[in-house]
Amino acid sequence: MNIKLKIWRQKNATVKGKFINYSLEDVSPEMSFLEMMDALNIKLITEGDEPVAFESDCREGICGTCGLYINGRPHGPEGKTTTCELHMRSFKDGATIAVEPWRSRAFPVIRDLVVDRTPFDKILHAGGFISINAGAALDANTILVKKTHADEAFNSAACVGCGACVAACKNASAMLFVSAKVSQYALFPQGQIEASKRVQKMVAKMDEMGFGNCTNTYACEAECPKGISITNIARMNRQFIQAKVCAQKDF
């Protein structure tokens, strides 16, 4: 198949970027999207041009680094699919494919399609962990956990931190990511000890990093490659309000 590509090129965060048109022939429908990008870069290098900068690591839908904005959607046209899992058979022969980086003030462009997602790391460093000494692993039946809680925690922990939720949101909100990281601990007894401090620190850091507010458009859940539910946002809001109320009572 033959395709046309409209790719955002930008030297760095301070230089104005623009779309550049490319064409690529003999693309196999079984290629992944990133393999197609590799083929494009081989062509560009062979012709003496600068290759397109983009991120990838595991290429198995696990690490979340491959996020691209493809034809107006985070990770492309397929639901619950990361860019590295997207295949060229999802596009028609002769199609024009627009490829952009995530668009958010909190995710400045480093080069071309690569953005700085360290704000997510800073949010996790602010409180997305358990700091108490939990000791050695206990017998599975020593601390009883409801099956529904265990399932919800596992589903929340499936978040790969790709940033699709931010890219999809008209406000560039990080609420789905933060709430997923809050929930994966809040649903277990070990995580409840620091629950109040955790949610306040992570929300404060999220605001500090410049992410927008959540207005419940559901776009984040719709475009999340792992299907993270917005019920996590409701859970985090409840915890945050409870933490604030308890703090006022203690004062």
Grade residue 250 by pLDDT with cuts at 50, 70 and 90: very low
Amino acid identity for residue 202 in this structure? M
Are 206 and 89 in a shared domain?
no
3-state class of 24 per DSSP? strand
pLDDT at 136 over 90: no
Domain containing 214 equals 118-250
Residues 102 and 135 in one domain: no
Are 78 and 141 part of one and the same domain? no
Q: Is 212 helix (H, G, I), strand (E, B) or coil?
A: strand
Please tell me whether residues 95 and 134 are part of one structural domain: no
- Closest C-alpha among 15, 223, 228, 12 to residue 116: 12
User: What are the residues facing 91 on neighbouring strands?
Assistant: none
In tens, the pLDDT along 185-234 reads 989 888 888 899 999 999 999 999 999 999 999 999 999 999 999 999 99
CA distance 159 to 161: 6
Determine the distance from the C-alpha atom of residue 2 to the mean position of all C-alpha atoms in its chain, rounded to a whole number.
30
Residue in 138, 140, 36, 51 with CA at minimum distance from that of residue 89: 36
Summarised one tens digit per residue, pLDDT across range 44-89 is 999 999 999 999 999 999 999 999 999 999 999 999 999 999 999 9
Quick one: pLDDT band at residue 182, thresholds 50, 70, 90? Answer: very high
Contact indicator for 120, 163 with CB cutoff of 8 Å: yes
| Domain shared by 149 and 229, yes or no | yes
Q: Which residue, of 59, 77, 110, is where some domain finishes?
A: 110
With a cut of 80, say whether residue 140 has pLDDT above it.
no
d(CA 231, CA 82): 22
Q: Which of 89, 110, 131 is the last residue of a domain?
A: 110
Last residue of a domain, one of 85, 110, 135: 110
Q: Is 31 exposed, middle or buried (0-12, 13-18, 19+ CB in 10 A)?
A: middle
Paired tokens of 106 = 């909190």
* Shared domain check, 148 and 90: no
Number of separate domains in the chain: 2
Q: Do 126 and 242 fall within a single domain? A: yes
Dist CA 205 CA 200 (whole Å): 9
142 with 229, same domain: the answer is yes
CATH code, domain with 181: 1.10.1060.10
Cα–Cα dist 84/61, whole Å: 6
Pair 16, 140 in one domain: no
pLDDT at res. 190: 82
Residues 56 and 77 both lie in one domain: yes
The pLDDT of 138-159, averaged and rounded, is 86
Q: How does DSSP classify residue 84?
A: G
Strand intervals (E) in 34-180: 69-70, 73-74, 96-100, 109-111, 114-115
Q: What is the pLDDT of residue 134?
A: 65
The answer to whether residues 86 and 27 belong to one domain is yes
Average pLDDT, the chain: 93
The pLDDT of residue 171 is 96
> What pLDDT does residue 59 have?
96
